[in-house]
Amino acid sequence: MAELTVHPDSIIDFLVRLLNTPSPTGYHQEAIEVVEQAFRGLAIADLRLERSPKGALVITWPGERDDAPRGLTAHTDTLGLMVREIKSNGRLKLHMLGGYMWNAVEFEGVTIQTLDGRRYRGTIVPVKASVHIHRGAGDEKRKQDTMEARIDARTSSAAETRALGIEVGDFVFLDPRVEVTDTGFIRSRHLDDKASVACIFGAFRALHEAGLRPAQTVTTVIANYEEVGHGAAAGFPPGLHELVAVDMAAVGEGQNSDEFSAGICVADGGGPYHVELTERLRALAEGASIPYKLDIYPYYGSDGEAYWHAGGAAQVALVGPGVDASHAYERTHTDSLMHTTHLLARYLLS
Ligand SMILES: [Zn+2]
């Protein structure tokens, strides 16, 4: 078996940079640029990097052979918000991008980006935020109508807010609050799915540094619309034989996944993944002594399914690092990143 080195520091450095780059679904340019620069930095001579018309990054690495081409995908788009309405008190009613609980963003810091590129800081607060004013404020259900963005600028009317350049449709970025602990955890919003992008980066680096290339030509789509269901529906060449979607394993009560293994998803809300490709990945993990966890994610869909629904004919499987409290304030561990990276590298070589 080929000797491979996975570098945790370079994977985590890239991951932290990506986490700190805002990219709610629909606002992808900055993050896709960060990813493109990182892959260019690997200096793999025949790596081809292109942008699809809708803004995804499509990376092609010619393999030893090209008779059964493969695909990988992970997504840079994340949860976020948009300005829905400028309220008469000058605050903002918000429209969710992606699916999550309003509780998960309560009191989170945000950045509001205007059309002309100005940025304002703010906070998502309940309309009834102060216990000194509202009895039982904590009991009120958190929903669109009971939450608002408080802007850190002097405004108490819709006209004053509009004078700041803020308008309906402006993107609102959630603070990721990235923290890498000395115990090996990475705590942040948006590990879904930036952690997986970092794993693909690490796998490419491991192969290239070992003087190797993939066994089959591989096309990687770094998608920008996964959270709304159509990220990797486009971007792959015709004739693809296999597609491994790389996305977070859902960790929590009743789940088999954890933050210390590579997750292999056998089925999710969209049904089972392809049995043969899933079994091959499992055998690769066994053969290289990579800790892995098989699991089912009940309320989950992936870009592998988006590809299938768009008419894709390849076998599709799903692997990824374990993420706790997904679509809220998430957490994973370096071990899960390393094992997922290693599994991807073994797959590329197989
Ligand atoms: Zn995801």
Read off the pLDDT of residues 216-237 as tens digits, 9 standing for 90 and up.
999 999 999 999 999 999 999 9
Instruction: Encode pLDDT of 36-79 as tens digits.
Output: 999 999 999 999 999 999 999 999 999 999 999 999 999 999 99
Q: Is the pLDDT confidence value at 329 over 90?
A: yes
Residue 185 pLDDT:
98
* pLDDT tier for residue 1 given thresholds of 50, 70 and 90: confident
pLDDT, mean of residues 290-314: 97
User: Cα(167) to centroid of ligand 1, in Å?
Assistant: 29
User: Cα(297) to centroid of ligand 1, in Å?
Assistant: 12
Instruction: Encode pLDDT of 165-186 as tens digits.
Output: 999 999 999 999 999 999 999 9
Dist CA 240 CA 148 (whole Å): 45
What's the token pair of residue 255? 């789940």
User: Cα(86) to centroid of ligand 1, in Å?
Assistant: 30
| pTM > 0.85 | yes
pLDDT, mean of residues 150-165: 98
What's the token pair of residue 207? 């192969």
User: Cα(302) to centroid of ligand 1, in Å?
Assistant: 7
Catalytic residue, from 148, 226, 259, 330: name it.
226
Dist CA 57 CA 148 (whole Å): 34
User: Cα(187) to centroid of ligand 1, in Å?
Assistant: 16
User: Cα(163) to centroid of ligand 1, in Å?
Assistant: 36
> Which helix H or strand E contains 49, and what residues bound it?
strand 48-51
> Which residue bears the tokens 């197989």?
350
Q: Is 226 in the active site?
A: yes
Instruction: Encode pLDDT of 19-30 as tens digits.
Output: 999 999 999 999
User: Cα(85) to centroid of ligand 1, in Å?
Assistant: 28
Instruction: Encode pLDDT of 276-288 as tens digits.
Output: 999 999 999 999 9
User: Cα(199) to centroid of ligand 1, in Å?
Assistant: 13
pLDDT, mean of residues 300-310: 97
